[in-house]
Amino acid sequence: MLPGVATAEVYGTAEGCARHAGKQAQGDDAWLLTPDTVSAHESSCKIIRSSVTSPTYMIVVTECAGEGETWEETYGVENFLGPETVTLVRTDSPDFRKELSRCQ
């Protein structure tokens, strides 16, 4: 579970928040961050551990499954204490950045 994130808070891209609300997502950019998971269009990753490295940054290690495969993925979460948005960064590919807004 993510430290500092209330259990009801969910962040995502527009497509991710639509899917979370039970609507049809338009496109492949359906990213969601919950206190327990990081998920994308065709994969779901359970958060297995996390650590806060600064007041606004944490490392999240996940165990993922999708398309018949399993793997471990590590993400950075920037501005996780911000009220409306966070940035999800893949630690093995820092150019991968997803701005996620709080889902309504």
67 domain residue, yes or no: yes
Report the alpha-carbon distance of residue 61 to residue 55 in Å, rounded: 18
5 domain residue, yes or no: no
4 domain residue, yes or no: no
pLDDT at 5: 53
95 domain residue, yes or no: yes
Q: Which domain covers residue 29, as residue numbers?
A: 11-102
pLDDT at 41: 78
Do residues 17 and 104 lie in contact, with contact meaning Cβ atoms separated by under 8 Å? Answer: yes
Provide the number of structural domains found in the chain: 1
Q: What is the pTM of this model?
A: 0.85
Average pLDDT over residues 3-22: 81
Tokens of 88: 């999800």
pLDDT at 43: 84
User: HEC string of 48-103?
Assistant: EEEEEEECCEEEEEEEEEECCEEEEEEEEEECCCCCCEEEEEECCEEEEEEEEEEC
1 domain residue, yes or no: no
pLDDT tens-digit readout, 42-78: 888 999 999 989 888 899 999 998 888 899 999 999 9
pLDDT band of 6, cuts 50, 70, 90? very low
User: Can you tell me whether residue 24 is helix, strand or coil?
Assistant: coil
88 domain residue, yes or no: yes
